[in-house]
Amino acid sequence: MSDKAVTGGSRRSLLTTGVVLLQALVLIGIALSFYAVSWFGKDIRVRTVPVDPRDLLYGDYVTLGYDISRLDPSLWKDAARKPESGQPVYVVLKPGADGIAQPVAVYGSKPAAQEGEVVLKGRIDNSWREEIFVKYGVEKYYVPEGTGKSLEDKASRLIVHMKVAPWGQAKIEGLEEQS
């Protein structure tokens, strides 16, 4: 066997190993990004609002709506452009007197958070003169089979505990019933 054949075979083997290693690193990165929200995220509490009962229970998850999803247009701070459907936004939240996060500003690009504030990334679902509707990617909460109906009945009295990472991604940590 010639030296060229051996070199070509080992080069291919090295390339295959590199590709497999790269794929494994990508999958590990995706998994780590999910856990990084819990490691580096700040705790917030948000109040749920009732959602049309026809949409609450679908399979093994409950659809949640939040009072922070319906924003007053006066909170919009990006003077260069108007809020448009599909646009990514950053909602600045600050705990109110009751400890529940309240929106204080909405930006088209990520602002620096001040002390006590959390910046939650979302996407404009719809925008009107009266309200800006934002989705945050945490509107579905997976539940054990058969428990969705009891959550559906409590939907207007739930507080959601979330972790929000410094880059704006949120993850639901749990639910509690408001007293």
pLDDT (tens digit, 9 = 90+) per residue, 27-75? 998 888 878 888 888 888 888 775 544 444 456 677 888 999 999 999 9
- What is the pTM (predicted TM-score) of this model? 0.71
**What does the chain come to in residues?**
179
Sign (positive/negative) of CA torsion 14, 18, 19, 20?
positive
DSSP state letters, 14-71: HHHHHHHHHHHHHHHHHHHHHHHHHHHPEEEEEEEE---HHHHEETTEEE-EEGGGEE
**pLDDT band per the 50, 70, 90 thresholds, residue 164:** very high
Q: Which residues contact 113 (CB under 8 A, 6 or more apart)?
A: 92, 119
d(CA 78, CA 99): 27
Token pair recorded at residue 167 = 């880059």
* CA distances for 134 relative to 73, 87, 104, angstroms: 12, 10, 14
Task: Name the residue ranges covered by the structural domains of the chain.
Answer: 1-40, 42-177
> 130-145: per-residue pLDDT in tens?
899 999 999 888 777 7
**Residue 47 CA to its chain's centroid (Å):** 15
d(CA 60, CA 80): 42
Q: Kindly state the average pLDDT of the residues 163-176.
A: 90
**pLDDT band per the 50, 70, 90 thresholds, residue 77:** very high
Beta strand 57-58 with 88-95 is unpaired
pLDDT at residue 170 is higher than 80: yes
Structure-model confidence comparison of residues 21 and 130, the more confident one: 21
d(CA 134, CA 154): 22
